[in-house]
Amino acid sequence: MVLCVNVSKKVSVPSSHCPIRLVELRRLGLMDYGIALELQRSLVHQRRQNPNLIDLVLILQHPPVYTLGQGSDLRYLNFTVDDPAYSVWQVERGGEVTYHCPGQLIVYPILNLIFYQQDLHWYLRQLEEVIIRALADSGIEGKRLSGLTGVWVDGHKVAAIGIKVSRWITMHGFAINVCPDLKGFHKIVPCGIRDRPVGSLSQFKPDIQLTTVETNITAHFAEVFQIHWHPPNGAGSLQVYSDRRFHGQ
């Protein structure tokens, strides 16, 4: 099941009678997009085979890369896929084209929504709520915009969400522009939205740190989804660059 929706809905959290779930947090550092994608697919496959396996959240960054959702319109690329500046991947998530690079915090939850709430709109709103609360901790007011998915600050899109849910198991997730070089976004129409700019948190709080945002995200993810992080929290950083160019799915 691939989801690409632009709706607004009141946010809720799991009811108090739901048991607290343990979720493993893995910090993966700077990881090639292809390696991270295969890791996600492997983790999801394992959980399709055994739904009782522990949920996970992967936190990482990517080297510069463009990704397109399944069914994305190539007209939103301001270059040809035969000669891209960076690797281009077309994958199974919902949504249009986006750009990843260092300075952007990426979060990929691998959750079995059977144990939370079997509602994809609810899940998207929960992810937005995590981001909005994390930004508030840094004194930045993040907002939803009616009819659009993601989080916005003063009309600038600072966080994009693109997910896939299959048999109620999630993959892909969200990306927050903390302090990236935004020039890579100039080569695309981000998320297919022409009339609203992409921004970064550093525009609004110049001294903001990736580590601070990561800490706030993990705290509020646990709060919103009512989970406990399962140690160890994960460590290590992989710096692997791919020389492959276009990857169709």
Which residues are within 8 A (CB) of 45 and not within 5 positions of it... i.e. 6 or more apart?
none
Residues 52-85: pLDDT tens digits? 999 999 999 999 999 999 988 888 898 888 888 8
Residue 178 has pLDDT above 70, yes or no: yes
**91-105: average pLDDT:** 95
- The model's pTM: 0.87
Residues 113-135: pLDDT tens digits? 999 999 999 999 999 999 999 99
pLDDT at 212: 97
Return the higher-pLDDT residue of 249 and 76: 76
Judged by phi (left if over 0) then psi (alpha if -120 to 50, else beta), residue 189 lies in beta
Q: What is the Cα–Cα distance from 7 to 10, expressed in whole angstroms?
A: 10
Residue 164 has pLDDT above 50, yes or no: yes
Helices (H), the chain: 33-49, 120-137, 201-204, 210-225
pLDDT at 20: 83
Environment class of 30 (CB within 10 Å of its CB; exposed 0-12, middle 13-18, buried 19+): middle
pLDDT at 85: 84
Q: What is the mean pLDDT of the chain?
A: 87
Cα 75 to its chain centre, rounded Å, is 23
Q: What is the DSSP letter of 20?
A: P
Which residues sit opposite 56 in a β-bridge? 24, 110
Residues 190-210: pLDDT tens digits? 998 888 899 999 999 999 999
Q: What is the Cα–Cα distance from 147 to 174, expressed in whole angstroms?
A: 18
C-alpha dihedral, 22 to 59 to 223 to 129, nearest 10°: -140
What architecture does CATH give domain 21-242?
Answer: 2-Layer Sandwich (3.30)
- Which whole-number Å values give the CA distances from 240 to 36, 39, 47, 83, in the listed order? 11, 14, 26, 21
Q: Which residues have a catalytic role annotated?
A: 191
